[in-house]
């Protein structure tokens, strides 16, 4: 049986630090505030929004939900973002994506100030992840993977890490975080030939494929640590990850559950980033 | 015997396209101009500056050498960069690095406009490489590696690529270029355990280690393509790459020579980027 790398204790440790930082800010008259910009009534967005607002409330971080109709024009959305950029009472801005098709994702990413980009969607934040400069913020889900490894004492240095997926939200940034932790990182994707030979030889696998059973028993080995980023629904309507959990869990050394793994750390990081943004914007350390 | 992937024909093909674009710009009254900012009298800088100026002259691109004393203050250098950013007659700016220790590299990188950053040193350019947005410019040496593979018809899709080195100048950007070409990319570095097992199984090796004989016969396999980015001096004073050329060349399928490989493409890319910058800045396509 493998070790279950649950997200809850990781989140709790992050929240504890955040709480102290919020108190420090509030004592200096700064109320850390996160704006959540949602276009339309997508179920997944509403679900995440709820979770984020609950997390922020528990940490005494203010939230400012900005809900726009699904047919809002690009110009209206950009002007709202500009308003939030200039509002010194708002420290972080989360924009739910994907956006409706009539709105340019690039234009939205370019409009947001990297200083308030607490979920790492701007070029400024992504450059910070790539160069290691610390500018902007890392995408929360990618950082969750690294926080889980750090929390459970998985030393990445010199280890082989296989990252499945190359998106800007997870695959690419998590590969940079692993590289910064001195792992030898292989980025795999849909064009990778013989994926099992890449995954079997890895010490750490980060699965961010977005498909049910993308990581099967024949692709894993003993002594591996599996970080499962997937959120999928199986045939019976149950939420499952990218790994075939019942088949892979008995083989590997440690694995994150879904739900209860990577996903349960993200809102804590969103809150922590908002506090960090408030600190930076007010020169309070 | 392996195929020698010489840089000269790659450079010639790039130059031919650049020439036509320069003529197109000049016919519209735009004289593409590259500023070369050098601090001090470093031999390697002067050597590269000479080559770049010669290349530009042959392509009818103007050059504007800006030479500052080695004890120039950071403020003076930043003000010079600001002046070049604002000078509409200058389209590209190359800044020789490393800079003297009393000058912050980060401050210099942040000062340069990404629009004129023809050697890809700014966060804007590096974000463009990371996200694939095409913003800014790729570092010339990293792009040289990809141009050589493209020119010689090496299809990267689905192939295993091992990149040795993780610098922002070569290792990291070249890994993104290979990923964009659908290779399965492994980034190796000083902390990588069992480097030969990573390199032996690769189809393509990009060696950017910066050490004499970093890639030896026991680390390579038949059918491999080796791109050697190293520029080192051997015991007899001869310029050599990272690969032990006499020992590895007979084993592999193809290899870039040093000198005459990657390095002989970079100034052509610098010129091409300057022309691209002039086109973008004047909305001429």
Classify B29-119 by CATH class: alpha beta
In this prediction, residue B133 carries a pLDDT of: 87
Extract the tokens encoding A138. Answer: 């890392």
In this prediction, residue A134 carries a pLDDT of: 86
Whose tokens are 């790729």? That residue is: B138
In this prediction, residue A141 carries a pLDDT of: 97
Dihedral sign computed on CA atoms, order B3, B8, B13, B14: positive
CB–CB of A133 and B123 under 8 A? yes
- The number of angstroms, rounded, from the C-alpha of A142 to the middle of its chain's C-alpha atoms is 4
Nearest-by-CA chain A residue for B180: A166
Extract the tokens encoding B167. Answer: 């610098």
What one-character DSSP code corresponds to residue A243?
B
Asked whether the domain spanning B140-263 has the same topology as the one spanning B29-119, the reply is yes
In this prediction, residue A1 carries a pLDDT of: 77
Segments of chain B scoring below 70 in pLDDT? none
**Cα–Cα distance for residue pair B176/B185, rounded to 1 Å:** 8
In chain B the beta strands, taken as DSSP E runs, fall at: 3-4, 33-39, 62-68, 92-95, 160-164, 184-188, 204-207, 225-228, 232-233, 239-240, 254-255
Q: List residues in chain B touching A: CB distance below 8 A.
A: 106, 123-124, 126-131, 133, 135, 157-159, 166, 168, 172, 175, 179, 182, 184-189, 191-193, 198
- Give one word for A237, left, alpha or beta, with left for phi > 0 and alpha for psi -120 to 50: left
The H helix count followed by the E strand count for chain A is 10, 11
Q: What is the pLDDT of residues B116-174, one digit of tens each?
A: 999 999 999 999 999 998 889 999 999 999 999 999 999 999 999 999 999 999 999 99
According to CATH, the topology of domain B140-263 is Rossmann fold (3.40.50)
**Cα–Cα distance for residue pair B278/B285, rounded to 1 Å:** 10
Q: What is the ipTM of this complex?
A: 0.95
Looking at beta carbons, which residues of chain B come within 8 Å of A128? 123
pLDDT of chain A, 285 residues: tens digit per residue: 799 999 999 999 999 999 999 999 999 999 999 999 999 999 999 999 999 999 999 999 999 999 999 999 999 999 999 999 999 999 999 999 999 999 999 999 999 999 999 999 999 999 999 999 888 999 999 999 999 999 999 999 999 999 999 999 999 999 999 999 999 999 999 999 999 999 999 999 999 999 999 999 999 999 999 999 999 999 999 999 999 999 999 999 999 999 999 999 999 999 999 999 999 999 998
In this prediction, residue A43 carries a pLDDT of: 92
Residues 6+ apart with CB under 8 A from B60: B19, B22, B23, B26
Domain map of chain B by residue range?
Answer: 29-119, 140-263
- C-alpha distance from A197 to closest chain B C-alpha (Å): 11
Q: Which one of A185, A190, A197, A201 would you mutate to disrupt binding with B, by most B Cβ within 10 Å of its Cβ?
A: A185
According to CATH, the topology of domain A28-118 is Rossmann fold (3.40.50)
Q: Which residues of A89-111 are buried (b: 16+ CB within 10 A; e: fewer)?
A: ebbbbbbbbebeeebeeeebbeb
Looking at beta carbons, which residues of chain A come within 8 Å of B159? 193
A128 with A118: CB under 8 angstroms? Answer: no
- C-alpha distance from B152 to closest chain A C-alpha (Å): 21
CB–CB of B186 and A185 under 8 A? yes
Extract the tokens encoding A131. Answer: 């160069």
Closest Cα partner for B228 from B203, B210, B250, B202? B210
In this prediction, residue B134 carries a pLDDT of: 86
């Amino acid at each position: 049986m493998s070790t279950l790398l649950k997200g809850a204790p990781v989140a709790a440790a992050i929240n504890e630090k955040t709480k102290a930082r919020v108190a420090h800010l509030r004592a200096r008259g700064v109320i850390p505030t996160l704006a959540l910009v949602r276009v339309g009534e997508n179920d997944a967005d509403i679900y995440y929004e709820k979770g984020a607002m609950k997390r922020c409330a528990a940490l005494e971080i203010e939230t400012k939900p900005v809900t726009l109709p699904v047919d809002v024009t690009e110009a209206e959305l950009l002007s709202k973002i500009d308003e939030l950029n200039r509002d010194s009472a708002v420290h972080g801005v989360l924009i739910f994506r994907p956006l409706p098709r009539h709105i340019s994702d690039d234009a939205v990413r370019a409009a947001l100030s990297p200083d308030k980009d607490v979920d790492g969607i701007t070029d400024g934040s992504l450059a910070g992840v790539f160069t290691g400069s610390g500018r902007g913020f890392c995408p929360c889900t990618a950082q969750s993977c690294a926080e889980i490894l750090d929390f459970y004492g998985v030393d990445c240095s010199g280890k082989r890490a296989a990252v499945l997926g190359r998106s800007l939200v997870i695959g690419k940034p998590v590969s940079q975080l692993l590289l910064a932790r001195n792992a030898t990182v292989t980025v795999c994707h849909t064009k990778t030939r013989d994926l099992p030979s890449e995954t079997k030889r890895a010490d750490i696998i980060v699965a961010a494929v977005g498909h049910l059973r993308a990581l099967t028993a024949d692709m894993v080995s003993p002594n591996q640590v599996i970080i499962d980023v997937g959120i999928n629904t199986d045939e019976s309507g149950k939420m499952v990850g990218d790994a075939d959990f019942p088949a892979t869990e008995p083989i590997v050394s440690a694995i994150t559950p879904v739900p209860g793994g990577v996903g349960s750390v993200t809102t804590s990081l969103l809150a922590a980033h908002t506090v960090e943004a408030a600190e930076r914007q007010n020169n309070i350390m």
